[in-house]
Structure 1
Amino acid sequence: MPEVTIAEEPPRQPEILRLLEMSDAYAASLYPAESNHLVDVSTLEQPAVSFFVARLDGAVLGCCALVEAGDGTAEIKRMFVDPEARGLKVGRLLLQALEKRAESRGVVAIQLETGIHQPEAIGLYKTAGYIDRPPFGSYQPDPLSLFMEKALHGPADLSP
């Protein structure tokens, strides 16, 4: 039986661009423009970004990006799973790959902003240990946004 694979890939590929367009349309259907904090493909191609793609039999199912801030933190951006692939645990697999990369890069905390109308995403993050926090970075308080963070214990952490 084929398995979902997760690999770091460049974001500028036709199937991935289609997925990002689906993500844009989904976000626009839920929130006004001022509450959407999406990054474009050129941002995803920056050196401080690790971009992950989930595939099954070569078909793109989902994606996510880890954007390192340079201060020991990183942010999850562009986490999206094709609606037709939901239920395959693709989001969980992407999140695990992203967290593993963050730990290997010495990131001590992963932060994210998501919308309040996305219970599946919120549930995934809470199950994975993310907790609510105030806005961070350049984000301003927004009643439609939820800010979360997970502290990581990288290889240098010797605590029990």
Structure 2
Amino acid sequence: MVNDVVGGRPVLAAYCYLAELGAVYERTYRSRTFTFGCSGYTYFDPRYWEGKDAFVLWDRETESLWWPVAGNAVSGPMHGEPLRLLDSGLWSQTTWGELKSAHPEAMVLAPGQTMEPPAGWTRYAPEQLKEAKASAVLADSIAPHWGDNSSFGNPKP
């Protein structure tokens, strides 16, 4: 997740490896620039995104929770506010190899990163989450829910 300003426009570039969902969003809502982060929650709803688990975001300004899979804020003062995608003609999702080939001078955020989580952190692959959801112990989520999902609205086709 990267909060940045591109061409004078505050944007959020986010990628969820659990849902395999990447997108670039506007960060200005109600005349305020928001700073987003990962809440530490994941959420699952079979009506959305082929039932994949996905990270839940939060904004520092209002502490609202946002679920990109549903496309909106799901709790807090911004509840119901849609996440606004930046015009998809202005960005594209690619791989590091494709980017490096097209732009040899491109750099990662921290040179030399191995892309491995710190020692001791649990890392869940999408396959593990599917297995966990099938177990009776974890029922439908790898992380606790903060309430029922009735506020998520109707699923998008």
TM-score range (shorter-chain normalised) is under 0.3
More helix by share: 1
Which of the pair has more CA radius of gyration?
2
TM-score calculated relative to the size of structure 2: 0.24
